[in-house]
Amino acid sequence: MKLLKCILTENDCYRAKRTIRPKGVMVHSTGANNPTLRRYVQPVASTPGREELLTALGANPNGNHWNRPGLDVCVHGFIGRLADGSVAAVQTLPWDHRGWHSGTGTSGNSANNTHISFEMCEDDLTDPAYFRQAYRAAVELTAMLCSQYGLSPLEDGVVICHQDGYRRGVASNHGDIYNWFPRFGMDMNDFRADVVRTLEGDKEEDGMVYFKTLADVPEYYRGAVQKAVDKDALKGGGNGELNVSEDLCRTLTVLDRMGKLDE
């Protein structure tokens, strides 16, 4: 993951100078067909390395970026396309700054007081290549933040999206990220699992994770893999060894959610 830094010092949220003790990470997506970082992030005259950042981000000719006063929203970071088309993350608030990203939920509480936040810049939600790149950057950014603040991604309520926050009563009613991830067979359970794997660093040399036996398969995949074994569709190498790849586990899980393994 490429990580730039362009703190939104002109945003009223930054100027409020309130801090939090981070207890989690909330994933957002922008809800607009514009995957470019320059739409939201622009350096101002006082920004360190301004010229280099402008070159990397590209200029926003419309002036509707978030590094200006008068806005009632601000997140800790963005993920999207740089001027050269590559995907990167940009830090836009100090990680322990209180963001303005979740609103107040039905419980009367707000994830603004507990969660670091970032926006994934949406495109038209049909490009699998961009989704994979943005998703991977989001996983790596979340893993970095969990490591930095000693957060457990699988602990209840730690790594959530905006809609998860609404369901928990700590955010306003927005649909992200469930308007996007399921189009590519993914949800927040998959996301949290990928954050864990990134933290564990258990990638094989060929970049693929393999599970030797059914007991090694993570619980969130195991039911679908078990069904494939029961149907004799997955045999492995014998003696209880499956040596099944994570990609296949994920595919089986998607098929199971569609009911295809029950036919």
pLDDT digits (tens, 9 = 90+) for 247-258: 788 888 888 887
Report the relative pairing of strands 115-120 and 24-29 from DSSP bridges: parallel
* % the chain with pLDDT above 70: 96
Residue 239's pLDDT band, with cuts at 50, 70 and 90, is low
Domains of the chain from N-terminus onward: 3-200 (3.40.80.10), 210-262 (no CATH)
Kindly report the pTM of this predicted structure.
0.78
Q: What is the mean pLDDT of residues 44-49?
A: 96
| pLDDT category of residue 203 using cuts at 50, 70 and 90 | very low
The pLDDT tens digits for 85-101 are 999 999 999 999 999 99
Q: Which of 165, 154, 47 is nearest to 102 (CA)?
A: 165
- Average pLDDT, stretch 199-215? 68
Please classify residue 165 by burial: count the beta carbons closer than 10 Å to its beta carbon, then call 0-12 exposed, 13-18 middle and 19+ buried: buried
What mean pLDDT is predicted for residues 22-28? 98
The Cα–Cα gap between 78 and 215 comes to 37
Q: What Cα–Cα distance (Å) separates residue 62 from each residue in 38, 39, 42, 59, 66? A: 10, 8, 11, 9, 12
pLDDT above 80 (res 166): yes
Could you read off the pLDDT of 107-150 as tens digits, one per residue?
999 999 999 999 999 999 999 999 999 999 999 999 999 999 99
Q: What's the confidence (pLDDT) of residue 206?
A: 47
Average pLDDT over residues 149-175: 96
Tokens for 140, please give them. 């790596």
